[in-house]
Chains A and B, each alone.
Chain A
Amino acid sequence: MSHSVYALTNRMIMLTSQQIQAMPEYKALRAARRKIILPLAGIVISAYFFLILTIGFFPKALGVSFIGGVTSFGIAAGFGLILLCFAVTGVYVSYANRKIEPLVKAITQKAKGEL
C-alpha cells in the first residue's frame, strides 16, 4: 500500500506528497481552513452545549418571558440555534468558495504543470 505517489487521472503525472506539502499554497490552504473551521465549530458546539447545560442546571430560567408575553427565553434560544446553524453553514460555504477553492485549484494546477 503506497500513498507516497499521487497519480493525477488526466495526465498521469506523478508527484510526491512532500512536494505538495512544500508548496506555499498548501500551507496557505491549511491556514485558511484552520482560520474558519475552529471558530465556527467552536461557536456552534459551545452555543449548543450552553443551551443543553442550561436545560440541565437551570431549567426554570428558560421559562422566563422573552419579550413580555408568554414566548419564553427557551423558545427564543431554540429558534436562535436553528438560525445559527443556517448562518454558520452559509458563512462557511461562502468563505470556502472564495478562499479555499482557489487555493485547492492552484495546488492542483501547479502539480499538473510544473512537475
Chain B
Amino acid sequence: MRLLLLTLLFLSSSAFAQGEPTTGELIMDVLTDQALLMFFAFVLLTVGITVWAARRTKSANDFYAAGGGISGFQNGLAIAGDYMSAASFLGIAGLVYASGFDGLIYAVGFLVGWPVVLLLIAEPLRNLGKYTFADVASFRLQQKPVRILAASGSLLTVVLYLIAQMVGAGKLIELLFDLPYESAVLVIGVLMTFYVTAGGMLATTWVQLIKAVLLLGGATLMAVLVMVQVGFSFETMFATAVDVHEKGSDIMAPGTLLKDPISALSLGIALMFGTAGLPHVLMRFFTVKDAVQARRSVFYATGFIGYFYILTFIIGFGAIVLLTGNDTYFVDGVLNGGKNMPAIHLSHALGGDPLMGFISAVAFATILAVVSGLTLAGSSAISHDLYATLVLKGKRNEKKEVRVSQIATVCLGIIAVMLGIVFEKQNVAFMVGLAFCVAASANFPVLILSMYWKNLTTRGAVIGGATGLLTALILVVLGPTVWVDVFGFTSPIFPYKYPALFSVLAAFITIWLVSVTDKSPSAQAEREAFEEQLVRSQTGIGADAASEH
C-alpha cells in the first residue's frame, strides 16, 4: 500500500519534472505554477481519501457499492460528478462559442435523459440489483448469456468513453501544464488505477464529490463574472454576441450540427436513452441504501447537471462576447489551442492567471474523476459479471471477486494509457457519441424490457441486445465519422453520423420478435417469473436479502 503511494508520487513528480516547454504560445510560467499547485492539492486530498477508504473497503459490497452507505444528496452530487465530464464542460462551451444554439442541443439532450432515469429506472434498479445493471437484466433470465451480453455492452461503452477522455485529457494537459502528451496520459492512468484498486467505490465516490463541488463552483464563478460584464441581462449578452460573431444572428438558431431530420432524431435518441444505459452511471444506484435514496439521488443529480449546463451555455456566450477580437487569445486569427479552449481562455479574460490556473486544475480533476468512475464500472463488469459467472459459475466468493476486480482495474488502466497514446493523432470527438449510441442500443433496451415487459426471454434479450450493439458499431464504421474521417474514403456507405435511430429500433424490434416466437419451456418459466420480479421491483421487499446472485 505504502509502496504503491510512493511509486505514484514518484511517477507523477518525475513526469512533471521532465516537462519541457513545447509550445511557448499559450503557456505562461505563472499559469503552470498556479495550476500545478492547485492540481497537486487535489491529488494529495484525493490520495489521502483513498488511503482512508482503503481501510474501510473489505467486502465486495464495500468495493463495488461503498457498502451502500452513500446518502441521496451525496450520491446525486457524485452522479453529477460522473456525468459532467471535461468533454461536456470544455466541449459544450466550445460548441456554443463556435455556433451558439447548437451547443444548447447537446446540453438539453444530455439532461433530458435524467427524468426518464428517475421515472422508469432508478427505483426498480435499486430494488432488483446489487452491483451492476446485469444483476437486473439477468434477474429472471439465464445468468450466463445475459451477463456476458451486458458485460460486453458495459465494457465497450466504458472503453470508448475512456479513449475519448484519455485523448482529450492528454491534449488539454499538454497544452495547459506544459507536460509531454505521454506523461500526461500516464499520470492519469496511474492515479485512476490507484483510486479504484485501493479505495474502490468509496474512494471513487469522494473523488467525484470533490470534483463536482470544484467544477460547479468554478463554473458558477465564471458565469457570474460573465453576467456582471453584460449587466445581468441575457438579452444584452445575446445581442452583443450576435454583433461580434462571424455568423451573426445565425447563432441564435440551429446551424450545421444537424443537417437533416434523421440526424436530429437520431442524436436525440442517442442522448436521451444513452444516459439510461451508461454502466458507470447505473452503478451509482447501488451505492445508496434503498429506492427512496435512489430516487432522491436522481432529483439532486438532475438539478446539478441542469444548472451546470446553463452555466456552460453562459460561459460559451461569454467567450463569444469577451474573446472575439482580443489578439491575446488568437494565433493567426485562429483561437489558440483549438475548439475546446474557449472556456479556458475565458477564465483568463475574466480573472487573469489565478482563475485560469484554477479552472485548468479543475478540468484536470474532472477528467481524473470521470475516468475513475468508468474504470470501476469496467472492472466490475469483468469481475462481477464475467468472472463470477464463467469461472466461479455463480458460486459466490467475495475475496476472489474483489481481487479479480483489482487486477482488472490495473489491466484497464494499462489498456487506457496504451489506447490513449495510440489514438493521440486521431479525432476522437465522435467516441463519446458512440459510447452513448452503444449504451442506447445495447444496454438500455435489454434493461428497460427486463424490468417492464413480461414476455422478454433470454433468447430475445441476447439476440436483440447483440443486434443493437453490432448495428451501432457497423453503422458508425460505415458512416462519415470513421469511413470518411478516419479511413479517408471520399463518401460514406451509411450517410448519417448518428446511427442510434436505426440501431435502437433494430434492438427493440429484434428483442420483441425473438421473444414472442420463443416457445421453449425455459422461456415460459421466465415469463411466469415476471410477476414475482415486479413485486420486488415495486416494493423492494427482498432487496436486502438478495441471495440468488
Contacts and interface: CB of A to CB of B under 8 A. Distances in A.
A110 B292 CA distance: 19
Contact of B306 (A41, A86, A108): A86
Nearest to A59: B254
Nearest to B240: A70
B120 interface: yes
B254 A85 contact: no
Interface stretch (B231-239, B330-338, B482-490, B508-516): B231-239
B15 interface: no
Interface string B523-549: 000000101110110111110110110
Contacts of B292: 97, 101
Nearest to A93: B299
Given A3-B548, A78-B108, A79-B310, A30 B116 contact: no
Interface string A1-26: 11110111100000001001100001
Nearest to B140: A3
Interface in B259-292: 260-265, 267-268, 272, 291-292
Most buried by A among B253, B268, B309: B253
Contact of B105 (A55, A89, A93): A55
Nearest to B123: A96
Contact of B118 (A8, A78, A89, A101): A89
Given A75-B238, A107-B541, A56 B262 contact: yes
B157 interface: no
Contacts, number: 174
For the side of the interface on A, what is the size category? 35 or more
Given A9-B544, A74-B252, A82 B532 contact: no
A49 B265 contact: yes
B539 A29 contact: yes
* Interface of chain B, main secondary structure: helix
Contacts of B115: 40-41, 44, 85, 88-89, 92
Given A71-B252, A89-B302, A56 B120 contact: no
Given A3-B536, A53-B264, A63-B253, A85 B306 contact: yes
B242 A70 contact: yes
A32 to B, nearest CB: 10
B295 interface: yes
B44 interface: no
A44 B116 CA distance: 8
B19 interface: no
Contacts of B533: 3
Contacts of A79: 310
A106 B263 CA distance: 48
The 3 tightest CB contacts between A and B, nearest first, are A63-B253, A56-B261, A56-B264
Interface of A: 1-4, 6-9, 17, 20-21, 26, 29-30, 33, 37, 40-41, 44-45, 48-49, 51-53, 55-57, 59-60, 62-63, 69-72, 74-75, 78-79, 81-83, 85-86, 88-90, 92-93, 96-97, 101, 104, 107-108, 111
